[in-house]
A = this chain, B = another copy of it.
Amino acid sequence: MKVSLEHFFANRFTDADNEIPEVVQYFKPLKVAKDELLLESGMVCHSLYFIVSGSLKTSFIDAKGQETIRHVAFENQFLSSLHSFIKQTASTEFIYAIEASELQFISYNDFQKLISETTLFRDFYIKMLETTYLNNHWRIETFLRLSAKERYEYLLTHKKEMVQRLSNKNLASYLGITQESLSRIKAKK
């Protein structure tokens, strides 16, 4: 599947669609291989990525040295190490391509410029923060009161793409459980 940045804005921000060319010109294309590192923990994240095709993840290394996946994004979604990007401070997480991916990215400076100069991008930024909020919200709810098995079933029902496109290893990490537990959960169904 392949999507475009123009369509993304045209479909969602009809009020200020005359500003689309102005906004889109600041994005640069980038192709990355499967498993390619886009941001190292400890570095400042300078880019916000739009996914044309493929998938990205943000992750950190836990106390036991295991990679733990905090967020995953597919086509038509944006991803960054948001805290680092917004504040231009060192990131506590990595960004990796999960699959080979085509991206469009914008630098922090151009991002700021567009925020101050265009209504479209300001609306987009608020919308992005809201979407991020909703995403984190359901994720916290699933952790608060669902067992590992129920969290897996929640993804199967509500986020099927994640189950289909992530390896067991990545999926287990995203669910906050071990690979072995996930394997058992899947076997029991």
A residues near B, CB below 8 A? 60, 62-64, 66, 68, 70, 82-83, 86, 125-126, 129-130, 132-134, 136-137, 139-141, 143-145, 176
Closest-by-CB residue of B relative to A177 is B144
By a CB distance below 8 angstroms, the chain B residues around A129 are: 126, 129-130, 133
Q: Is the interface of A mostly helix, strand, loop or mixed?
A: helix
Q: Tell me the bound Cα distance from A141 to B137 in angstroms.
A: 13
Which of B82, B136, B137, B145 sits near A62, CB closer than 8 Å? B145
Q: Which 5 A-B pairs have the closest CB atoms?
A: A136-B136, A143-B143, A129-B129, A62-B145, A144-B176
Closest-by-CB residue of B relative to A135 is B136
How far in angstroms is the closest Cβ of chain B from A179? 14
- Report the copy number of this chain in the oligomer: 2
Verify A66–B145 contact, CB threshold 8 A. Answer: yes
How far in angstroms is the closest Cβ of chain B from A81? 10
By a CB distance below 8 angstroms, the chain B residues around A139 are: 136, 140
Which of B70, B83, B143, B145 sits near A134, CB closer than 8 Å? B83
- 12 examples of A-B residue contacts, CB within 8 angstroms: A60-B141, A63-B145, A68-B144, A70-B137, A70-B144, A83-B134, A126-B129, A132-B133, A136-B140, A140-B140, A143-B143, A144-B176
By a CB distance below 8 angstroms, the chain B residues around A132 are: 133
Verify A140–B63 contact, CB threshold 8 A. Answer: no
By a CB distance below 8 angstroms, the chain B residues around A136 are: 133, 136-137, 139-140
Verify B143–A83 contact, CB threshold 8 A. Answer: no
